[in-house]
Structure 1
Amino acid sequence: MRTFSLLKGQPVFDSKSGARIGEVTDLCITNEGVVKGLMVKKGVFFKQSYFLDIQDVTSFGGDGIMVEDDDHLKKRKTTPEYTLHHQHSLNGKMLISKSGESLGLLKDVYFHEELGTIVGYEITDGFFSDITEGKQIIQSEKPPAIGKDAIIVDVNHT
């Protein structure tokens, strides 16, 4: 299990040549709340965004992500359904439990790398709350309902 904040900025390497082929910039999330892939910036001067399907990642290491070769990076033709920080961003969106309780604002997600399943949400009530109370994690084994105004989750623990 991993959070996006640990992946952001990590290099992506071609495991055959050892070449650094890009850097992780965001997650691509489906309407069903599944991490479908990673957004990767590639290039030196004119960086372009590429899509890397999570199934094409051979390993998620502490210091880099490995792919078989850079052919797995696909030029983005369409906008992802949701991301954490770019277009259709979920970051800062209100999390509400199925019972109607406001849980806080989404800050990060915990997901299984191999499956892309989101299993937890890091939330915030604001900067001072984060300092005094620390991180708040909401666990949920069921997919969220992502709407225009809020994300509805089936809560295990608060």
Structure 2
Amino acid sequence: MRTFKHIKGMAVYEQHTAAMLGRVIDFCISSDGSVLGLLMNSKGLFKPHRLIPAGAITGSGEDCIVIVSEDELLPAPHSQGIYYFESHHSLQNKYVLSTEGEHLGMLENVYFSDHLARIEAYELTNGFFADLSEGKILLNAQEQTLSVSRDAIMIANDFEP
């Protein structure tokens, strides 16, 4: 598993031409927590950011991300129900609440599966001093029912830290 902070800044290459297409700058999820893809800046002046759909990633190692073709890239979505970790409708530092009415912490990072198509875990913080004394909270994402809004992230009752 790798964190988003690890993959941010990774170069993205096209498999058949070995051309570097850009670098990862963010990731995108839907309001139910499904990974839509990675947001990539584009090489060149005045080129818009593009979305690498999760299914288009054929390789993701320690040094770069590989996709089959540049044709698979999509315009970056900015509609209702689409959230990014750091940019548009940011998830980072958003409150995470349980459906039982408990404040679990603030979202600090996410852990991805090896192919970056699925979030495996959420890393929560309750602040610097709480992290020193109690440690950060790691929630297994596979067992969670997630709802995201512009105000908070809600996790179903059956969560286990």
TM-score, reference length from structure 1: 0.87
Structure 2: gaps (5+ residues): none
Q: What's the counterpart of residue 145 of structure 2?
A: 143
Identity %: 35
Moved more, 28-37 or 141-150: 141-150
Q: What's the counterpart of residue 22 of structure 1?
A: 22
Equivalent pair of 2:139/2:159 in contact (CA under 8 Å): yes
Cα RMSD (Å): 2.1
Question: Aligned to 1:6, what secondary structure does the other structure show?
Answer: helix
* Structure 1 pair 115–32 and aligned structure 2 pair: CA distance change class (3 A): farther
Equivalent pair of 2:144/2:159 in contact (CA under 8 Å): no
Deviation at 1:114, TM superposition (A): 4.3
Rounded Cα–Cα distance in structure 2 between residues aligned with 1:119 and 1:99: 22
Structure 1: gaps (5+ residues): none
Rounded Cα–Cα distance in structure 2 between residues aligned with 1:2 and 1:153: 22
Equivalent pair of 1:54/1:113 in contact (CA under 8 Å): no
Rounded Cα–Cα distance in structure 2 between residues aligned with 1:143 and 1:111: 17
Rounded Cα–Cα distance in structure 2 between residues aligned with 1:26 and 1:42: 13
Rounded Cα–Cα distance in structure 2 between residues aligned with 1:115 and 1:142: 18
Rounded Cα–Cα distance in structure 2 between residues aligned with 1:5 and 1:115: 13
* Structure 1 pair 70–126 and aligned structure 2 pair: CA distance change class (3 A): same
Rounded Cα–Cα distance in structure 2 between residues aligned with 1:23 and 1:126: 30
Count matched residues.
Answer: 157
